[in-house]
Amino acid sequence: MPSAMRNAGVQKERQYTFPILLDHFELAWNIQLLEKTGQPKPTTLPAMLAHGGKNANRTIWPMIAAGADDRILLGFIGSISESIFGLDRWKAIQRQAAEKTPDNLVQSPELTEVLDNLAEWRRNKFLHPEWFRMTQQDVIQFMENDNALFVGMFLSDHRQVPIKTIEKFESTFFPASSIQRTRSFTVPVILVMQPNKERTQKSALDFAAYLVQDAVQSKIAGRTGLAPTNSQCEAPDKQASEVRLWAASSANLLPSFSSALYTDPTDKKKLAQLIREYLESR
């Protein structure tokens, strides 16, 4: 298991948990629509914006996301925070959340600058004007009818799209402003943890070790569609294999903002609501 994955379970140099499966917030694109732009897949944010501009018309939107879902909305914003401004900005927003209520966090410069970028994308018609009200079913319908060039979603949501529709798309990580920059991708990790900190329980450790064996990893990755962490295990498909490679190359595996900022479900819901209000007001 690469160090970037193992470190997801480390706190203060102690390994409390270790990962067994990897999710990922991805940038998916319609293969045929991108081919019409005459450009390869985007490797930088400027390229992604340029590709979108070449394919915008009354029926095709450059980018959409199911922002009506709080989990996807916050996952998208967290991924964009890192891709545009880098890991330091992502961590700064997380620190602000530890000190501030959702009402105050949405007014903090660290977060508002990220939201202002998304508001500008919306004004420029790169992002669909209703993206933060779109459900996952809305997104699937846009994908099915070839009405979206780019889609932001989790790998776990990618797995819920009907096969005939998702076959039209390929995916990658969200590009940054420069290809030279070290990246920390939004890769939510499913971890195995022993809850009893006072005493080591052999049965719990044995079960944890069982979950990362090749055959078991193949089975649970195949059933969930997520990426296995065992580098010796065959991934269920290309998407899962690529997520594992991206995770291995990442400086850090970042959780989604939906779990990194607040633990109280009420705070998460409130933050998502305030973000939608902010975006609409801009």
Give the tens place of pLDDT for each residue, 4-47: 888 887 777 777 788 899 999 999 999 999 988 787 888 899 98
Taking 70 as the threshold, does the pLDDT of residue 170 lie above it?
A: yes
Confidence of residue 177 (pLDDT cuts 50, 70, 90): confident
Q: Residue 274 corresponds to which amino acid?
A: L
How many other C-beta atoms are found inside a 10 Å radius of the C-beta of residue 178?
10
Burial code (b: 16+ CB inside 10 Å, e: under 16) for 55-79 equals bbeeebbbbbbbbbbbbbbbbbbbb
Confidence of residue 246 (pLDDT cuts 50, 70, 90): very high
Backbone angles phi, psi at 20, to 5 degrees: -120, -25
Among 3, 11, 5, 1, which residue's Cα sits nearest to residue 190? 5
> Could you tell me how far CA 275 lies from the centroid of its own chain?
17
Q: Residue 123 corresponds to which amino acid?
A: R
| Average pLDDT of every residue of the chain | 91
Nearest 5°: the CA angle 272, 278, 282 is 145
SS3 labels along the chain: CCHHHHHHHEECCEECEEEEEECCEEEEEEHHHHHHCCCCCCCEHHHHHHHHHHCCCCCCEEEEECCCCHHHHHHHHHHHHHHHHCHHHHHHHHHHHHHCCHHHHCCCHHHHHHHHHHHHHHHCCCECCCHHHCCHHHHHHHHHCCCEEEEEEEHHHHCCCCHHHHCCEEEEECCECCCCCCCCCECCEEEEECCCCCCCCHHHHHHHHHHCCHHHHHHHHHHHCCEECCCCCCCCCHHHHHHHHHHHHCCCCECCHHHHCCCCHHHHHHHHHHHHHHHHHC
How many other C-beta atoms are found inside a 10 Å radius of the C-beta of residue 34?
21
Taking 80 as the threshold, does the pLDDT of residue 194 lie above it?
A: no
Please give the structure tokens belonging to residue 269: 């819901």
Q: Tell me which of 177 and 92 has the higher pLDDT.
A: 92
Residues 6+ apart with CB under 8 A from 161: 140, 143
Q: What percent of the chain has pLDDT over 90?
A: 69
Among 212, 156, 197, which residue's Cα sits nearest to residue 18? 212
Weakest-pLDDT range from 60-74, 138-152, 157-171, 184-198: 184-198
Confidence of residue 56 (pLDDT cuts 50, 70, 90): low
Measured N-to-C along each axis, helices 265-281 and 109-123 cross at an angle, to the nearest 10 degrees, of 50
The reply to whether the predicted model has a pTM over 0.75 is yes
